[in-house]
Amino acid sequence: MPELTYREAVRDALSRAMREDEDVFIMGEDIAEMGGSMGVTQGMLAEFGPERVRNTPISEIAIVGTGIGAAMQGMRPVVEIMYQDFLTLSMEQLVNQAAKHRTMSGGQLKVPLTVRTQGGAGWSPGAQHAQQLEAWFVHVPGLKVAFPSTPEDARGLLWSAIYDDNPVVFFEHRLLYPLKGEVPEELEPIPFGKARVLREGSDVTVIAIGRMVPESLQAAEQAQEEEGISVEVVDPRTLQPLDEETILDSVRKTTRCVTAHEAVTRGGFGAELAAVVQKGAFDYLDAPIERVGAKFAPLAFAPAMEQWAVPHAADVLEAVKRTVARS
Amino acid sequence: MAKLEKKPRAGGGLSEEELRDLFRQMLLIRRFEEKVEERFRAGELPGFLHVAIGQEAVAAGVCAGLEREDTIMSTHRAHGHTLAKGTHPNAVMAELYGKLEGCSHGYGGSMHLYDVANGMLGANAVVGGGLPQVTGTALAYKFRKQERVAVAFFGDGATNTGTFHESLNLAQLWKVPALFVLEMNGWAESTPQSQHAPIEDFSQRAVAFGMRSIDVDGQDVEAVYEATREARRHAASGEGPVFLNVRTYRLVGHYIGDPQVYREKSELEELRETKDPIELLRAQIELSEDEVEQLDTEVSAIVEASVEFAKAGTDPNPEDALKYVYA
């Protein structure tokens, strides 16, 4: 199987879709000559030309809104919002428009729009370039939310996002871009709403998303080696729809649960996961559900403060140990 | 820099018969909205409503100047635009009653009228919210080399939103076939133009983007029609979008029941006497009392029938609220 980086995997999905389908095009800030601020779309201008690889002004409302309009006509635009912090500027179009046209029209309209964005801490970008806002979008009926953690998932989920008839907010993590992983020779679309069990275990389930997936795998390794604790790691991959079945099956087996994301803990997606688990597996639980996330503060610039505020493998390991100690 | 054009009163562009049709169309919209007001005050219509009495010549003139395959997006004040674009009064009235037979099947209401088959892509309850989607719809027409234009209706209040500026900037930059129809009625809800914008001539806002702007007297339906034909020709030929700066008068409050404490009663009375577009057209084409009465009887019967149709319509099943969340 070939090996791709997470960045190359995203690009591969975009390029394959654009080769096959002239309804697919991409637009966003600095995505053409520059190839995107994260280099994801490098080389695509040369292959597809400026009509289909469109640099835009710094206009996040218009980038998303124009994508919605083209999608309403049956095109499949993939728009890039350079940092997810800037999604805040697009919120009106995403929340009031993209998410609602189908219902408000009584089923007459579809909005097959994909909004790609990225972000995350770990390189001292400061408070306005490092947020993890995925939970906001899970709260909006009509939107779908994907957050892949591996190259294979990034490629297969992005393909599914492009060909989903609904608006999808597709989160990538900045620190995952250089991560390498094997991908199938042929692109295999990964359906939304199917979690992946990345590591099997019997003592505790860690449900992790984004960067906290590799961090949780590392914690699981350590837990096994240092404490003899067997950790199962589950990545939901899409937050909306959510594969509750796989999550509950895992927790019913292990009887303990930790959630992990880089976003701040308060109001984060871990709260939703905890609610799902307590409702569906309450009688199985041997310990309170632990939530791992960032501390509740705008992210500070200085590396020491930044690194202290966001979670790492060590935080997952501690949470795992606490849940096991409870029984 | 684009030139400002002052559109003279068009003379002789439309036949007597076509003008008579427009008179009938405007009268139908007027009687429809009067009926809506009556039924709302009688407590039959849920939610809240905005009528556009006084602005009928804009809806009728613009839509008459479009081709059938052209599309519009509108505002919270959309009954007239929707009827003029070709939606049956029964379907609009049934929507206001929340019935399945409504043009949005009961999911939208007055502020979210949709009729995709007739080119009505949605009324929007967020001021300016539809504008980037009109840019995007027009972009799709350009991509597909279709000879169609996408039209946005909006008021002067919308020109103060960031959405307006981003949308027009991008539309002009990419020279998409869009028409931006400003219904300049001088009010942003209850706030007069003098308190919401530092300029009086709103065409300057379009000219700032290098966009062609045409000034039109919005109480003169023939002038609106002529300006729309020219704007459509310009946009559809690939020369870029056009801004129609249409001066019109809202001869009623912002919403039904608005006591209008913000303007003098005498001012409104004078406008009603001098600026009613239906009276102005009637004088222009010299319709006799009998002819007017006959047309009035005709359109009033259509409106009355729409109420009967709506009342006899089907109430949705409550659980169908979830039917169109996702495609």
How confident is the model at residue A1, as a pLDDT? 86
* Count of domains forming chain B: 1
How confident is the model at residue B9, as a pLDDT? 42
User: Best of B170, B172, B173, B179 to disrupt the A interface by mutation (most A CBs within 10 Å)?
Assistant: B170
Name the residue in chain B with its Cα closest to that of A167: B326
Catalytic one of A8, A29, A101, A129: A129
Q: Which residues of A touch B (CB under 8 A)?
A: 25, 51, 54, 56-57, 59, 61-62, 64-75, 77, 92-93, 96-97, 101-110, 112, 141-142, 144, 165-166
**pLDDT (tens place) for every residue of chain B, 327 residues total:** 454 454 444 455 799 999 999 999 999 999 999 999 999 999 999 999 999 999 999 999 999 999 999 999 999 999 999 999 999 999 999 999 999 999 999 999 999 999 999 999 999 999 999 999 999 999 999 999 999 999 999 999 999 999 999 999 999 999 999 999 999 999 888 999 999 999 999 999 999 999 999 999 999 999 999 999 999 999 999 999 999 999 999 999 989 889 899 998 999 999 999 999 999 999 999 899 999 999 999 999 999 999 999 999 999 999 999 999 999
A73 and B137 within 8 Å at the Cβ level: the answer is yes
Q: How far apart are CA A13 and CA A157, in angstroms?
A: 9
| CB-nearest partner of A69 from B116, B136, B144 | B136
Degrees, nearest 5: CA angle B300-B254-B252? 45
B133 and A69 within 8 Å at the Cβ level: the answer is yes
- In this structure, is residue B302 part of a structural domain? yes
Q: Which chain B residues are closer than 8 Å to A51 by Cβ?
A: 143
Domain range for B217 is 4-311
Q: Which residue has the tokens 């975009």?
A: A14
User: Best of A26, A59, A66, A96 to disrupt the B interface by mutation (most B CBs within 10 Å)?
Assistant: A66
A172 is catalytic: no
Note the Cα B279 to chain centre separation in Å: 19
Peptide bond connecting A241 to the previous residue in cis, omega within 30 degrees of 0? yes
Query: How near does any CA of chain A get to the CA of B116, in Å?
Result: 7
| CB-nearest partner of B166 from A51, A59, A69 | A59
A62 and B163 within 8 Å at the Cβ level: the answer is yes
Query: How near does any CA of chain B get to the CA of A69, in Å?
Result: 4
Query: How near does any CA of chain A get to the CA of B100, in Å?
Result: 9
Q: Which chain A residues are closer than 8 Å to B138 by Cβ?
A: 69
Q: Which of these, A29, A25, A9, A5, lies nearest to A17 by C-alpha position?
A: A25
How confident is the model at residue B6, as a pLDDT? 43
| CB-nearest partner of A165 from B134, B137, B327 | B327
- In this structure, is residue B321 part of a structural domain? no
Q: Which of these, A193, A196, A198, lies nearest to A238 by C-alpha position?
A: A193
Do B58 and B183 touch, CB atoms closer than 8 A? Answer: yes
Out of 3.10.20.340, 3.90.1150.10, 3.40.50.1260, 3.40.50.920, select the CATH number for domain A196-325.
3.40.50.920
Do A216 and A259 touch, CB atoms closer than 8 A? Answer: no
Query: How near does any CA of chain A get to the CA of B157, in Å?
Result: 17
Radius of gyration of chain A (CA): 19
Name the residue in chain A with its Cα closest to that of B127: A92
Burial B281-293 (b: 16+ CB within 10 A, else e): bbeeeebeeeeee
Q: Which chain B residues are closer than 8 Å to A103 by Cβ?
A: 107, 324-325
Name the residue in chain B with its Cα closest to that of A165: B327
Cα separation of the two ends of chain A: 43
Claim: this prediction has a pTM higher than 0.90: yes
Query: How near does any CA of chain A get to the CA of B37, in Å?
Result: 23
Q: Which chain A residues are closer than 8 Å to B115 by Cβ?
A: 108
How confident is the model at residue A327, as a pLDDT? 60
Tokens in use for A262?
């880089």
| CB-nearest partner of B116 from A56, A105, A166 | A105
Q: How far is CA B327 from CA A99, A102, A108, A164, B217, in A?
A: 11, 7, 10, 8, 43
- In this structure, is residue B318 part of a structural domain? no
- In this structure, is residue B107 part of a structural domain? yes
A215 is catalytic: no
B169 and A57 within 8 Å at the Cβ level: the answer is yes
In chain A, CATH 3.40.50.920 sits at 196-325
Q: How far apart are CA B250 and CA B248, in angstroms?
A: 7
Q: How far apart are CA B31 and CA B306, in angstroms?
A: 11
In chain A, CATH 3.40.50.970 sits at 3-182
Q: What digits encode the pLDDT tens for the residues A71-114?
A: 999 999 999 999 999 999 999 999 999 999 999 999 999 999 99
Domain of B127: which CATH number? 3.40.50.970
Q: What digits encode the pLDDT tens for the residues A236-279?
A: 999 999 999 999 999 999 999 999 999 999 999 999 999 999 99
How confident is the model at residue B188, as a pLDDT? 87
B139 and A66 within 8 Å at the Cβ level: the answer is yes
Out of 3.10.129.10, 3.40.1360.10, 3.40.50.970, 3.40.395.10, select the CATH number for domain A3-182.
3.40.50.970
B131 and A65 within 8 Å at the Cβ level: the answer is yes
Residues of chain A with pLDDT under 70: 327
Name the residue in chain B with its Cα closest to that of A27: B136
| CB-nearest partner of B324 from A73, A77, A106 | A106
- In this structure, is residue B320 part of a structural domain? no
